[in-house]
C-alpha cells in the first residue's frame, strides 16, 4: 500500500491526500454543527435532540473521567473525538483515511502531549517538574522516557490500527470481491474506527487530568 499522494502544492509545501481528506471531514463536521444547532427551542426537534445528546454525552464522559472541575475540556475532547471518528470511518465512502497517515496521528498525539505538560505546569507550577524525580531522582530518566512514550504509543496505536484495517480491507477486496468485503468493512472501518477514536480521546483525557492532580 502506498503512502498518501500529494494532491497539490501550496506556497511550495506539498499538500497530501491526508490533509485534504481531513479538510473534507472538517467541512462535514462544520456543516453538521450548523444543521444541528440551527434552531434551539425549549421543545427540541430531531436535530436539536442529536445536538443535546452529543453535548450531554460528552459532558457526562468528561465529567466521569476528568472530574467536575475539568468540564472545560469538553469542547476540545468532543472535537478531537469527532474529528478522529469521522477521519476513521471516511474509509467507508472510499476515501483514504487520514488517520492511516502517521503524520496526522502524530499531530493529534502531540497536541495531547503538549496539553498534558502545559496543564500540568499550569496546575502545579514547578512542583509538576519535581514529579519526574519521584519516588527517587534516579528514576527521572525512566519517567521522562515514559512521558515521551505516550505520544508515540497514542499515535502508533491509531495509525497502526487504521493502516492495518485499510491493508486488510484491500487484501480481502482483492481476494473476494462479493459480500465478504462489506461485512469485513463493518468491523475494520466502522467498529475499529469508533473504538480507536474513543480510546484516543479517553487516554488524552486520563493523561491530562492525571497531570493536573
Q: Which position among 61, 66, 74, 208 is part of the footprint of other proteins (CB under 8 A)? A: 74
Q: Quick one: how far is CA 194 from the chain centroid?
A: 10
CB of 92 to other proteins, least distance (A): 21
Closer Cβ to other proteins, 84 or 211, answer by number: 84
What the block records as the C-alpha cell of 101 is 497517515
Total site size for other proteins, rule CB under 8 A: 45
CB of 176 to other proteins, least distance (A): 25
User: Is the bond leading into 135 cis (omega within 30 degrees of zero)?
Assistant: yes
In whole angstroms, give the CA distance from residue 154 to residue 25: 21
Q: Quick one: how far is CA 75 from the chain centroid?
A: 13
Q: Map the footprint of other proteins across residues 128-157, applying CB under 8 A.
A: none
208 near other proteins, rule: CB under 8 A: no
CB of 46 to other proteins, least distance (A): 15
Closer Cβ to other proteins, 35 or 183, answer by number: 35
Contact 39, 174 (CB under 8 A): no
Residues in the chain: 213
Contact 104, 86 (CB under 8 A): no
Those residues whose C-beta lies under 8 Å from the C-beta of residue 8, and which sit 6 or more positions away, are 14, 15
Closer Cβ to other proteins, 111 or 140, answer by number: 111
In whole angstroms, give the CA distance from residue 119 to residue 67: 15
Cβ neighbourhood burial of 12 (10 Å; 0-12, 13-18, 19+): exposed
CB of 69 to other proteins, least distance (A): 16
Q: Map the footprint of other proteins across residues 24-63, applying CB under 8 A.
A: 26, 29-30, 33-34, 36-37, 40, 42, 51-52, 54-56, 58-59
Contacts with other proteins by CB under 8 A lie at: 1-3, 13-16, 18-19, 22-23, 26, 29-30, 33-34, 36-37, 40, 42, 51-52, 54-56, 58-59, 74-76, 78-80, 82-83, 101-104, 106-108, 110-111, 163
Amino acid at each position: 500500500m502506498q503512502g498518501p499522494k500529494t494532491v497539490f502544492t501550496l506556497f511550495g509545501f506539498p499538500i497530501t491526500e491526508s490533509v485534504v481528506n481531513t479538510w473534507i471531514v472538517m467541512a462535514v463536521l462544520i456543516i453538521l454543527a450548523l444543521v444541528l444547532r440551527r434552531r434551539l427551542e425549549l421543545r427540541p426537534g430531531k436535530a436539536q435532540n442529536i445536538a443535546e445528546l452529543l453535548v450531554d454525552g460528552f459532558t457526562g464522559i468528561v465529567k466521569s473521567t476528568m472530574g467536575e472541575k475539568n468540564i472545560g475540556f469538553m469542547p476540545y475532547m468532543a472535537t478531537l473525538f469527532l474529528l478522529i471518528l469521522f477521519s476513521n470511518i471516511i474509509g467507508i465512502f472510499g476515501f483514504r483515511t487520514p488517520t492511516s497517515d502517521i503524520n496526522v496521528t502524530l499531530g493529534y498525539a502531540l497536541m495531547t502531549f503538549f496539553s498534558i505538560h502545559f496543564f500540568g505546569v499550569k496546575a502545579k507550577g514547578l512542583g509538576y517538574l519535581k514529579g519526574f524525580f519521584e519516588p527517587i531522582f534516579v528514576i527521572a530518566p525512566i519517567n521522562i522516557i515514559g512521558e515521551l512514550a505516550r505520544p508515540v504509543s497514542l499515535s502508533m496505536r491509531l495509525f497502526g490500527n487504521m493502516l492495518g484495517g485499510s491493508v486488510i480491507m484491500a487484501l480481502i477486496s482483492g481476494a473476494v470481491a462479493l459480500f465478504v468485503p462489506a461485512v469485513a468493512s463493518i468491523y475494520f472501518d466502522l467498529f475499529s474506527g469508533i473504538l480507536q477514536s474513543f480510546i484516543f480521546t479517553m487516554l488524552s483525557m486520563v493523561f491530562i487530568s492525571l497531570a493536573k492532580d
